[in-house]
Amino acid sequence: MSSNETAFSGIPASRLRLGALALIAAGLLIAPQGPLTFDVPTAPDQNLAFATGANSTAYRVAMTLTGIGIAFMVLGVFALYVRLAATAQERLAFVGLVMTVGLVVLFLPIMGFALYVVPAVGSLVDQGRPEMIDVMDQTFTEPSLPIAFLGGILWQVGGIVLGIAMWRSGVFWKLSGLLLIVSAVVGIPAFLDQKVLQLIGSFLTLLALVVVGIDLWRSTSKPRGSAAH
């Protein structure tokens, strides 16, 4: 069977290569968020600065690209799981898949809030309606909000698990798994409004997803279960 005909868990290699491209695209789309939003505080105790800073083209572009990038990342993670499922690390990869995708879904309401609500409030404040900050103040006190915030923090753990599975799989470069682990570890404090780490995390996310995507593409030419050299 040629490399173009190789199937992994019944999925043609060509489908996994689309997933590899999705991971590369995700890295390129998510990376601008750090530099483009560096001057915008996102902590709940700085809602006025958050809203007015978000009322900018740069912020809107960064958050829009991030949302699209997350969609590409999810598609790529499914492809990564399928490739890992053809190795002895299937169980660990499945845990990583569930944690990454499931917790990203819990996180998406925060993305919508940051992308649409915050800039809209900032625009109204700039029009002389400072009382609109009350919308953000109230949102941050909603009792179910911690669920979405936990999703934003803990989905990174899924990346750590997937990185470990890649490291142990024998079909991926160990560097790929290591980069995924490091970018996920940095992503946890970066999510908590640590601006320097957000900048570093953007670079690491770009590097990790591009390298993992290239490695996933490369790995589809290997017979099932073959070891990387």
Residue 11 pLDDT level (bands cut at 50, 70, 90):
confident
Residue 68 backbone dihedrals phi, psi, to 5 degrees = -65, -40
Residue 64 exposure: Cα atoms within 13 Å on the Cβ side: 8
Which residue type sits at 120? A
Distance between CA 148 and CA 144 in Å, rounded? Answer: 8
Retrieve residue 146's tokens: 């911690």
Decide which of 193 and 177 is more confident: 177
pLDDT of residue 224 exceeding 70: no
How many residues are present in the chain? 229
Residue 80 pLDDT level (bands cut at 50, 70, 90):
very high
In this prediction, residues 183-192 reach a mean pLDDT of 90
Retrieve residue 195's tokens: 């601006």
pLDDT of residue 222 exceeding 70: no
Q: Kind and range of the H or E element at 193?
A: none
Distance between CA 132 and CA 151 in Å, rounded? Answer: 27
In this prediction, residues 82-91 reach a mean pLDDT of 95
Average pLDDT, the chain: 91
Distance between CA 191 and CA 176 in Å, rounded? Answer: 22
Retrieve residue 97's tokens: 């898949």
Residue 148 pLDDT level (bands cut at 50, 70, 90):
very high
pLDDT at 2: 44
Distance between CA 15 and CA 20 in Å, rounded? Answer: 9
The residue whose two tokens read 């490369």 is 218
pLDDT of residue 131 exceeding 80: yes
Retrieve residue 151's tokens: 């999703």
Retrieve residue 142's tokens: 């909603």
Retrieve residue 54's tokens: 């978000």
Retrieve residue 215's tokens: 């490695």
Distance between CA 162 and CA 33 in Å, rounded? Answer: 23
In this prediction, residues 80-108 reach a mean pLDDT of 95
Residue 10 pLDDT level (bands cut at 50, 70, 90):
confident
The residue whose two tokens read 């990583």 is 96
Distance between CA 71 and CA 55 in Å, rounded? Answer: 24
What pTM was estimated for this model as a whole? 0.90
- Which residues face 8 on adjacent strands? 11
In this prediction, residues 106-111 reach a mean pLDDT of 92
Helix (H, G, I), strand (E, B) or coil at 7: strand
Helix (H, G, I), strand (E, B) or coil at 84: helix
